[in-house]
Structure 1
């Protein structure tokens, strides 16, 4: 199973082109097992945890098999609007080179806008049960020509009380369809639902969850903007000074680009990915094992053969495609009864995936503050001072005394020492840091009267600001969510649109008051 490539799975060429553009080298276990079953037209139950690559497991074969149509061909039901948006985004990426129209339908959006889009023609609808039922009652969605019905996270929909809604929706879908049900667990009500509405020949694929021992691995994340990702990596490496680290990228291209950027700044680093031949990989791995290489940048597939006991850090430069890969990645540190550190660089849009990883691994991933230039300076200063003291203790500097004496005639020796330390310091820095804080250009800090207790996350807050203030959310800076309130950094020009249009509007059923924050950023 491990040697299977996406190209072996009989997927549409345009879908394969999209998967290649996404940079995935080979299918995850659920993808390798589910895709052939979906393509052969069999009903299927996929029992797998959130984040194992389920969306691609059904999305790739379904999109391979559908064409442009005036009626909805695919209906995906999800328990929450956040998941509906996430699934919609993933399916849109898979359908990038096919003329397939995809739309998320959930509560909180103007229903009139959804009705207009459905009238124009949509092939794939990703929706929450409540809003899909609204459209059925209004006769604004036609489910008579559904070819594929997918129930995503069925157990979560059961927990949220949607089981009756799901049955009502299924009764409105034509019988001549292929049904797929994905669920992490199989409670009795889900089993009854499956036996009632799925074929007797239904195939049950069960993916066994990997266990992860995290006692020796400290897990942290840094909230980053995509444009600052590389500088933040440099800051982390300059402050922590790992003895040996594996840095993970999602794609082969990502590995090559990061290695080039790191080598240009003097890091002792090489890369490993699927396009490299066996000899190249073995040579790189040999250097890494023998400590002739400080940093190894790799894709998940290339890293499978890495068995090194002394890896102090694993850094997820990009989060992986699925949870299983996260488990494999961070398991590369904390070996041989040693402590290990795992860092993840996470954009606000990826925060929901981070929470899923926490749930999947049953561990807490703590937030770390991005190192400041002052902290980097302090680390380098201590390092240089230790080197100087060690050289003085070893008494092997005497041959340079005449030069120092010559300089003493012209300059103050304290100034000379400071100049030499500066030269050493400059050579130790990997990045031309211009600002002390990475978030120094984030402008104004706003205070929101909503927090973790209201079940908000960066993604839902960004969507709220986009829907209410109609702004480009890519300009939003740090999002700092506390229990009862939230701080968000924004450019100054967005202050008035947000205060005028978003303040007083409801999010998660609560009226949100917004004002310019008077206090400084709080630490966790």
Structure 2
């Protein structure tokens, strides 16, 4: 990948100095007594194969067919323990291969069963997209052993889902809210035979207020089971969930720090006036034209507007946020994955867990409100050892957020230097596109506002909970 062009940024030096001042506050976490921790593998140790970890030949062949050349660190550490019939807490940075780390042991246990039961494994995920993606991984890795799985998520008709559950799948991948709906309303659906429970992205599940639902779900599950809890971070909430759901677990921690970004990721900031954000965004899109790019915004409204705005200037942008229908969300994701659209404009619904094979650039149009989300956003690129670039637009109103991010990740970002005159060449066209996008958003709000659109801000959707970023908290 070509290196980033370096140009001079015409911002006051006194203001730029504020970017690297020590912040007054940093993110903190509480701790409690920890389970047994398995140390990271020695760097110079020979690379193991999946067969070396104890995975049987049919599943090794599936890994090879999917291009899994060698186990990632989280896989190498957690799979042997899972095959020893132990509860596991897996802590690893985003994009580390956590899905295969829990799917392979479950499939192997299923293969070893003489008469595998229905609902043998249950995998919980915070978002519909992630649950769907995990379901695809289960099908791909289990294709040679005839595994039956189904995905149960909100936003879709419950009747076809009830029919799918009636066929007694081996593995269910679900969001918590919709799964609880089926347990309470779908006749004959029980989890009393479940042998394996996986709670993926546990910290985000709890951040999205799924705690009470998880407590209810645990009551439907047998006490004699294996439980795998995977999370990017270990918060006090995750520790409480661990105590409630796991028995004598082993902890596998791959990350060396609480907020870690991979070494192959190049991170930059642009310190710009707030009024020129759109101009600098289009300048960057022009610089990275043809590259797979995710633009992160803070609100549903801005996601929709920026997508319309970018399309008006000829860029292939498509929005992804929590207020789209489930079919529209999956459609947007699939178009981006397939390369039919090279720009995805998204809220933090796309920040974690999603496996998009090749993302070249991440642009933070809006800085996230916490450092953990920043790490997950930029983790959409530079995955699996590949290089990637992340650029953050920092305005005069973002200084405290920016300082906290730098302090949390333990490094100072490089400045992406630009020439203001070159940037301002786009000003006239950008202003015209802004007018067009405002009119389009007005029409969209009028169409949806009659029903109380979240875009308009009248009221959250039925069953949802208002979030500070305009997204609905209920993903189930």
TM-score w.r.t. structure 2 length?
0.50
Structure with greater helix share of residues:
1
Structure 1 or 2, whichever has the larger Rg, is 1
- Which structure is richer in relative contact order (CA contacts within 8 A, separation 6 or more)? 2
TM-score (norm 1): 0.45
